[in-house]
Chains A and B, each alone.
Chain A
Amino acid sequence: MRHLLSTADLDVAEAVRILDTAGQMAATQAREIKKLPTLRGRTVVNLFFEDSTRTRISFETAAKRLSADVINFSAKGSSVSKGESLKDTALTLQAMGADAVVIRHHASGAPHTLAHGGWTTGSVVNAGDGTHQHPTQALLDAYTLRRHLVGDGGRADVSGRDLTGLRVAIVGDVLHSRVARSNVQLLHTLGAEVTLVAPPTLVPVGVEAWPARVSYHLDEAIADDKPDAIMMLRVQRERMSSAGGGFFPSPLEYTRGYGLDARRLASLPEHAIVLHPGPMNRGLEISADAADSSRAVIVEQVANGVAVRMAVLYLLLAGGDAPTSSQPGTTNETKVDA
């Protein structure tokens, strides 16, 4: 693995390896001394062209826990506001010796351009691009699902396991959501069944090609599918014009049709958990009852995000370039340890 640009690039083995590594990273974060010397001397640049709180802090925390040096770059207050291109920014970072670039950009495909433009030799991690992909969010969602729903409700050792047979409903603004796109692909790869639930106006064109079912009625989807987990998406008002922007008549009507409230929470199967990538619009897509219930794992998702990002940085940065042995040692070793 050289870059992490899209969950579509991951096969089952790679995805499970990231989740297993995240499990070991999470175990180290329960210790008194959380810092590990693993990436000492490596430099990670957080290149954020779009606002973000938890993703940037999460990546920064992950890099620092592995002893990497972190440089934070946000477009506001940088030369980008003077009109610098992505290429020139990338060349500057290359000159400063960045081993990994974590990029968030409002344009879909910007991380791909950065990774394949030949401007930087470092690894590129996509931290969200436009309405395209947000792979580490999907990985932390999958990690959270596996921890709670696979094996013995989080007590048994789940390393090596995928998500075969789990049913996940992803509800809300699918049209603007990179989280939904990343999750549909990753959860499908890991063997889960995904149902997208959204008003017809918020379902993207071409959704038939996605490995997921589509429903326009949340209550029916809950009753028919009995999902093991329900993932509420944020209504991305900033990507719409005023009010509902023509995507729905009014916030109240959206909440009636697609919001998760106490009644719908009660109609879910007893073991089902509630996820939300944050930041939440309380009262719009999720009620305070649902967000604060014991079945919501939203705060835990944030903690798991650090472990998953540590795993990604470890897998991208810790290993050397050239395999030194001709034996198929690594694959066998993986099996031994799994």
Chain B
Amino acid sequence: MSTGMSASTDGRSDGQSHGTSDDANVVLGAPEIGRALTRIAHEILERNKGGSDVVLLGIPTRGLPLARRLAARLVAVEAGLEVDGLVGSLDVTMYRDDLAHHPTRTIGATDIPGSGIDDKVVVLVDDVLFSGRTIRAALDAISDLGRPRAVQLAALVDRGHRELPIRADFVGKNLPTALYERVRVLLDETDGRDAVLIEGGAR
């Protein structure tokens, strides 16, 4: 998520050093994250009556490993699916509406599965759903890439404070937060361990 987000406006601090995590409030541990993803995977299959038309697009940085984990769970449950044909990444940096308010962001990779997204059900996967602006940018990015039959949204954490009429179809955990708090998602693939933290509560 680092390309897409910056700590000050979006309440996350991906790039921050990990020194403060000891004092932080761990709200989800590795087992909870695993269970939430398993449940979301089943919900995706249930809602779409199987996984044959589904494409999971992770939003870098942390949406991408989450999308891969979901894909692995879909493959494990449903016959005839392949992880590589199911998962891709969607970088939204160049579609953001706040580029001018931050230092230049590094552009991540966009990588769509070979079958494309036309007439598929695209499930956007992100770590934290907050203002909804990343998702708005993602919807614009998708419309430049093709015309999916439907777009759905899966987020590991929904922390509220939406600024746009956007909601998630699949949520790992609803976390009521104050605006000044920071929600950090750590994943094994990018950070060495799985955890969701809330920081900055004492102020």
The answer to the question of B144 belonging to the interface, with a C-beta cut-off of 8 Å to chain A, is: yes
Segment of B101-109, B121-129, B151-159, B165-173 in the binding face: B101-109
Closest to B191 in A: A336
Q: For B15, what are the chain A residues with a Cβ–Cβ distance below 8 Å?
A: 327-333, 336
Chain B residues numbered 126-176 whose CB sits less than 8 Å from any CB in chain A: 140, 144-145
B102 partner, pick from A36, A66, A319, A331, beta carbons under 8 A: A319
Contact B6 A324 (CB under 8 A): yes
Contact with A along B42-71 (1 / 0, CB 8 A): 000000000000000000110000000000
Contact B6 A325 (CB under 8 A): yes
A318 partner, pick from B9, B99, B145, beta carbons under 8 A: B99
Give A337 to B105 CA distance when docked, in angstroms: 10
Nearest-Cβ distance from residue B179 to partner chain A, whole angstroms = 15
Chain A residues numbered 306-338 whose CB sits less than 8 Å from any CB in chain B: 314-315, 318-320, 323-325, 327-334, 336-338
Q: For B94, what are the chain A residues with a Cβ–Cβ distance below 8 Å?
A: 28, 36-38, 66, 314, 318
Known: A329-B6, A329-B13. A320 touches B100 (CB 8 A): yes
Nearest-Cβ distance from residue B84 to partner chain A, whole angstroms = 16
Give A36 to B60 CA distance when docked, in angstroms: 18
Interface-centre pick from B108, B140, B144 (highest chain A CB count, 10 A): B144
Closest to B99 in A: A318
Q: For A333, what are the chain B residues with a Cβ–Cβ distance below 8 Å?
A: 2-3, 14-15, 61, 105-106
Interface-centre pick from B7, B14, B99, B110 (highest chain A CB count, 10 A): B99
Give A330 to B60 CA distance when docked, in angstroms: 15
Give A136 to B9 CA distance when docked, in angstroms: 34
Q: For B16, what are the chain A residues with a Cβ–Cβ distance below 8 Å?
A: 327, 329, 332
Interface-centre pick from B13, B14, B94, B145 (highest chain A CB count, 10 A): B94
Contact A323 B103 (CB under 8 A): yes
The answer to the question of A223 belonging to the interface, with a C-beta cut-off of 8 Å to chain B, is: no
Q: For B100, what are the chain A residues with a Cβ–Cβ distance below 8 Å?
A: 318-320
Give A329 to B13 CA distance when docked, in angstroms: 8
B109 partner, pick from A17, A24, A331, beta carbons under 8 A: A24
Known: A329-B13, A333-B2, A337-B3. A33 touches B144 (CB 8 A): yes
Give A35 to B141 CA distance when docked, in angstroms: 11
The answer to the question of A31 belonging to the interface, with a C-beta cut-off of 8 Å to chain B, is: yes
Contact B105 A37 (CB under 8 A): no
Number of interface residues of B (CB under 8 A): 31
Q: For B115, what are the chain A residues with a Cβ–Cβ distance below 8 Å?
A: none
Q: For A262, what are the chain B residues with a Cβ–Cβ distance below 8 Å?
A: none
Q: For B3, what are the chain A residues with a Cβ–Cβ distance below 8 Å?
A: 333, 337
Contact A319 B99 (CB under 8 A): yes
Contact A329 B14 (CB under 8 A): yes
Q: For B13, what are the chain A residues with a Cβ–Cβ distance below 8 Å?
A: 325, 327, 329
The answer to the question of B91 belonging to the interface, with a C-beta cut-off of 8 Å to chain A, is: yes
Contact A334 B106 (CB under 8 A): yes
Contact A329 B110 (CB under 8 A): no
Q: For A31, what are the chain B residues with a Cβ–Cβ distance below 8 Å?
A: 144-145
The answer to the question of A71 belonging to the interface, with a C-beta cut-off of 8 Å to chain B, is: no
Q: For A334, what are the chain B residues with a Cβ–Cβ distance below 8 Å?
A: 106
Contact B144 A21 (CB under 8 A): no
Nearest-Cβ distance from residue B183 to partner chain A, whole angstroms = 16
A319 partner, pick from B8, B61, B105, B144, beta carbons under 8 A: B105
The answer to the question of A91 belonging to the interface, with a C-beta cut-off of 8 Å to chain B, is: no
Contact A36 B106 (CB under 8 A): no
Residues on A lying within 8 angstroms of B by beta carbon are: 17, 20-21, 24-25, 27-28, 31, 33, 35-38, 66, 314-315, 318-320, 323-325, 327-334, 336-338
Known: A24-B108, A314-B107. 12 other contacts (CB 8 A): A27-B110, A318-B104, A318-B105, A319-B100, A325-B13, A329-B6, A329-B7, A331-B15, A332-B16, A333-B14, A333-B61, A337-B61
What are the nearest 10 A-B pairs in CB distance? A319-B104, A329-B15, A332-B15, A333-B2, A38-B94, A24-B107, A33-B144, A325-B8, A324-B8, A318-B99
